[in-house]
Structure 1
Amino acid sequence: MSRGPVRVLWLGLRPYAEALRVQERCVGAARAARASSSPGSIPGDSSGESVVLSEPAGPVYTWGLRGAPGAEEAARLRARGAGLAAARRGGQITFHGPGQLLAFPVLDLRRRRLPLRGYVAGLEALVVRFCRRLGLAAARALPPPCTGVWMGDSKICAIGVHCGNHITSHGLALNCCTDLTWFDHIVPCGLEGKGVTSLSRELGHHVTVEDILQPFLDSFQEVFECTVVFSEDPGD
């Protein structure tokens, strides 16, 4: 059963910090929609749900609630020309940059009657379905602590989420044509002995973020049982 429309905010090439600010406005809108909904309303109606999509405009290393770099490591990463940012999500340090799709779903898990673990599994299922749409039949999720989506021992999509008062934020980072050498300077997500890959590497040709927006959204609609509607950035 469809759970109603989810707004899609495609920001294009945008600094990571700006994408976070848009996400926070969307979280506020989702909370306001819940506060104004009537007790007898149908779950999903006027939920204020959205998904913020962007491509980071510059290189940045981010970390979640654990795994912040020490002063020496932070200085080393800055010296390579990357920004550093703490994020209110699970997970350790990872990289975001051009050629990567960032997807921040802002969903109401209480309306969806979906536990947080089920939501993370849904994000993994979404990316696996998307990869198989593109012909990458080997894409799979692995047991904890290896969250995300993998091609063999190489991660193609990282997942790190936050949930406050049942409203989700942050989400996933899918490598399309990302310069993977940026990952060489960290232990991605704190997992020793694992690699990183991209759609371009796995498919053998250049794949841009814009190339994959529609099949990604098709998979999103199927997994989260919704329709998506493109919208403008609230507050702009």
Structure 2
Amino acid sequence: MSLKRSLDVWKMGIVSYMDGLKFQEKLLSDRKFGKIPDTLLSLQHPPTYTLGKRRTDHNLLIPKADLHKMGAELHYTQRGGDITFHGPHQAILYPIISLRDSGLGVRKYVENLELVMIELASLYGVSARVGGKCETGVWVGDKKIGAIGVRISSGITSHGIAFNIDPDLNYFDHIVPCGIAGKGVTSLRRETEMILPSEEIIHEELVSCFAKVFGFTIICKDNELILSETEEVS
């Protein structure tokens, strides 16, 4: 019987997109050089639109100047995938893990990320599924409940998944979510008949689903160290 690998988990709360990105980049470098074990960031962002490396600006449906009026930011990233929205009441996981050590190829890694979100939805009686051809992420009927956008560098992952607990879905009206036209977006709140617990609990359940699917044992990190870690790479 093989032993489970350890996974450092940082529960970060609400973090600006750029601070989260800087922290990812530091951890990515540390993981490449074996300074840290596989690591998972669990967090939320203020209202933020992000574009993948294909730079599909045409899928932003409003002028960039209007974003500031909405209280939202726009950031360009090196992840795969198209445009998406991050905001409050959305659970985000950024895995910084070695695919080589995990024995996973890129396809299997993405399939596992899909399964993580499907398992979380099932805890609340929601039947989620993987998308069809050219439909990334996880869906309930013809509406997306969870998005995936990953980056692989030297066999180490970054960026990750965003699962809609109860975000303001009006923000999605200003984009073509993930570049998939004619499809809607939904949330756990809209799809379940159950009374939801606190979002902190749902975040913890998502982390637990990740650990279960990928075969990790969780080690929680001291959140007080996060600020000093991000300041080092500012």
The two structures have a TM-score, normalised by structure 2, of: 0.88
Q: Quote the residue 1:27 is aligned against.
A: 28
How many Å separate the matches in 2 of 1:19 and 1:209? 19
| Cα-to-partner distance string for 1:200-224 (whole Å, 9 max, x where unaligned) | 1112555653130222122111110
Contact 1:77 1:185 in 2 (8 A): no
Contact 1:49 1:107 in 2 (8 A): yes
How many Å separate the matches in 1 of 2:198 and 2:114? 21
Amino acid at match of 1:59: P
Query: Identity across aligned pairs (percent)?
Result: 37
How many Å separate the matches in 1 of 2:71 and 2:208? 36
Residue 73 of structure 1 and its aligned partner are, at CA, apart by: 3.2
Residue pairs, 1:1-12, within 5 angstroms: 1-12=2-13
Contact 2:128 2:138 in 1 (8 A): yes
Structure 2 residue aligned with 1:180, among 169, 172, 181? 169
The two structures have a TM-score, normalised by structure 1, of: 0.87
Q: Quote the residue 1:99 is aligned against.
A: 89
How many Å separate the matches in 2 of 1:113 and 1:214? 25
Residue 13 of structure 1 and its aligned partner are, at CA, apart by: 1.3
How many Å separate the matches in 1 of 2:188 and 2:43? 17
Structure 2 residue aligned with 1:227, among 217, 223, 230? 217
* Compared CA separation, residues 207 and 201, structure 1 to 2 (3 A): farther
Amino acid at match of 1:231: K
Q: How many residues align?
A: 222
| Cα-to-partner distance string for 1:51-84 (whole Å, 9 max, x where unaligned) | 011111x211101011432697323434433100
How many Å separate the matches in 1 of 2:64 and 2:3? 45
How many Å separate the matches in 2 of 1:76 and 1:207? 35
Contact 1:53 1:102 in 2 (8 A): yes
How many Å separate the matches in 2 of 1:92 and 1:102? 17
Structure 2 residue aligned with 1:217, among 207, 213, 220? 207
1:124 counterpart = 2:114: yes
1:195 counterpart = 2:178: no
Contact 1:2 1:225 in 2 (8 A): no
Residue pairs, 1:66-215, within 5 angstroms: 66-69=54-57, 73-136=63-126, 138-204=127-193, 205=195, 208-215=198-205
The CA RMSD over aligned residues, in Å, is 1.9
- SS of corresponding position for 1:117: helix
